[in-house]
Structure 1
């Protein structure tokens, strides 16, 4: 059998995308990066074209990043990949599985239905209900339904004046008519990324805050660090990722005074945190996994 042709759906020039393409090239001699902004779906011919290449003729596609920022349009790009799947291309992770994670509410409801501990959460379009939730929580993080790395999030406090609190709610709903808000938890300055490949646990890294920011993201100055979880934490993350059936993911876990909670299961997972914080070269592991699937 000839070496498989597996493309990488991602963002050209970005470290994770390029690293994954490098790993595939080293193993198969084939290197191909696809920016979904340049893809054209022709349903008449059942073809998915990218710069003259029909992606439906590849053996596999690894989705490292579907777009630079999440939005409802991200779902449209994933729907296009379903055509490639129907034509026999193996997509990692499956398009429908990723779709269930890109929308924050879909991810949250799946986790809640599975009995996974999460921060107290309220979802509403009603301003009065949001106002009462902030008062009940004391402090709440308002999150867009489509975002990554804390983009578009804000914190509203119950201690502010009622007028300013209502103004903050109104400002948030200009771009987010459906409000998703969670009680702001005491994270003790860090949270965890717990890494899984094909449902198997690989390792854990911490994101440690280096500032007074309420979140620990690298964009807000956080740093990656090693972390050794307990068996109970590994079991929690294992149960959290299981309903989604992803080929690769990280589970975002936080340790609070009331016990561990899960924030989300990532649609794509972070390569850099795994490398810098846990010493895991997951690009190579992921490439090996995809190659074994398309050649079996």
Structure 2
């Protein structure tokens, strides 16, 4: 008799990815439990973390078979760290978490991601990260045109192209007032296009090319998605990235400059609205099937 798995999705009900994933999981026969990250309550020494509702609803997360993380919303430093700590604890208590907390820690922080990839010999843009205004200015002097990015963020929000010392001075002084870290990457000419490769379970399941009217190629910034067959070279880079980070699934962004591919981002909670609009692959179904297979393989091993 086929076991009916109880699978949690961490996020809010209104999220389109969560709705698609919930439907896909239900189609496999799984029971889906929504896990709002703001409603986590943990107990010590009892090995328990629950979610609660205003109507008295309680759900012990240890009773789930798996938890798919689709949202870790911003908040205070304490709130963000606590939510990630809960994921670490649940894993240690035996819950299958996708993606694992360590993967999210590696991918939510652009510096950490770039350092891990670069130190492993994977191609990334030249990057300078510093809290020093003087070192940031020196980085512009050495690299010329640079893209200034927030350490945390997505969808292209907050990225600025700096092309001369005067603009750099004004931008960096403004960032200094907010106590931000300077994250600078050398601007690489890329014909206003790049590639998003979606990896699930060690396989590139689909790829799109994104074409922008400016250097920003994010769909949220107006770029247009186009389905392309996965390129073998780019696929190998994406799979190496997922393997290095230990990700069950991952969105990997790669641009090509002067014939050389560069990994510019790896997202541990990747969206797929743009990709889904151009690919025949049902991404939510693939992710749901992968999750169920992981649980079934665990039963078979036992």
| Fold match (TM-score > 0.5) | yes
1:272 corresponding residue in structure 2: 273
Alignment check: 8 A CA contact 1:82 1:95 kept: yes
3-state DSSP of counterpart to 1:277:
coil
Cα 1:115–1:186 shift into 2, 3 Å: same
Aligned to 1:250: 251
Pair 1:186-2:189 in alignment: yes
Q: Distance in 1 between matches of 2:295 and 2:237?
A: 30
Q: Relative to 1, partners in 2 of residues 1:188 and 1:220: Cα closer, same or farther, differing over 3 Å?
A: same
**After alignment, is 4-13 or 167-176 more displaced?**
167-176
Classify 1:277/1:73 alpha carbon distance in 2 versus 1 (closer, same or farther; 3 Å).
farther
3-state SS of paired residue (1:16): helix
Give the deviation of 1:247 after TM superposition: 0.8
Task: Tell me, yes or no, if the aligned pair for 1:9 and 1:34 is still in contact at 8 Å.
Answer: yes
Aligned to 2:148, the other structure's residue is in SS state: strand
Distance 1:70 1:151 in 2: 19
Q: Which residue of 2 aligns with 1:124?
A: 130
Aligned to 2:219: 218
Deviations 1:100-157 (A, max 9, x none): 1111111111100111111111011111111111122221111111111122222222
Give the equivalent residue in structure 1 for 2:42: 41
Evaluate the alpha carbon distance shift between residue 264 and residue 12 of structure 1 in structure 2; reply closer, same or farther with a 3 A threshold.
Answer: same
Task: Provide the C-alpha distance between the structure 1 equivalents of 2:140 and 2:46, rounded to a whole number of angstroms.
Answer: 52
Corresponding residue of 2:289:
288
The structure 2 residue matched to 1:195, chosen from 191, 194, 198, is 198
Q: 91-100 or 67-76: which moved more? A: 67-76
More divergent stretch after superposition (108-117 vs 64-73): 64-73
Q: 137, 154, 175: which one pairs with 2:143?
A: 137
Q: How big is each residue's C-alpha offset from its partner over 1:184-222, in whole Å with a ceiling of 9 and x where there is no partner?
A: 22121111111111111212112221x33x311122111
> Which of residues 99, 107, 126 in structure 2 aligns to 1:101?
107
Distance 1:70 1:268, change over 3 A: farther
User: For residue 25 of structure 1, what is the aligned residue in structure 2?
Assistant: 26
| 2-structure distance, mates of 1:242, 1:166 | 39
The secondary structure found in structure 1 opposite 2:278 is: helix
Is 2:84 the counterpart of 1:78?
A: yes
Q: Distance in 1 between matches of 2:294 and 2:189?
A: 42
Note the C-alpha offset of 1:81: 1.2
Root mean square deviation, CA, Å: 2.0
Q: TM-score, normalised by structure 1?
A: 0.91
CA distance in structure 2 between the partners assigned to 1:28 and 1:229 by the alignment: 31
Structure 1 residues 199 and 192: CA distance shift in structure 2, 3 A: same
Aligned residues: 291
**How many angstroms apart in 1 are the aligned matches of 2:30 and 2:267?**
29
Q: Secondary structure at the match of 1:187?
A: coil
**Alpha-carbon separation, structure 2, partners of 1:85 and 1:230:** 35
Distance between the aligned counterparts of 1:143 and 1:73, measured in 2?
23
Equivalent in the alignment of 1:227: 228
Report if the CA contact (8 A) 2:24-2:288 is conserved. yes
- 1:43, CA displacement in angstroms? 2.6
Q: Are the equivalent residues in 2 in contact too, given 1:75–1:102 (CA < 8 A)?
A: no
Match of 1:65 in 2: 71
Gaps of 5+ in 2: 53-57, 298-302
> CA 1:99/1:72 → structure 2, altered by over 3 Å: closer, same or farther?
farther
The correspondence for 1:175, drawn from 159, 174, 178, is: 178
What's the CA shift for 1:22? 1.0
Structure 1: runs of 5 or more not aligned: none
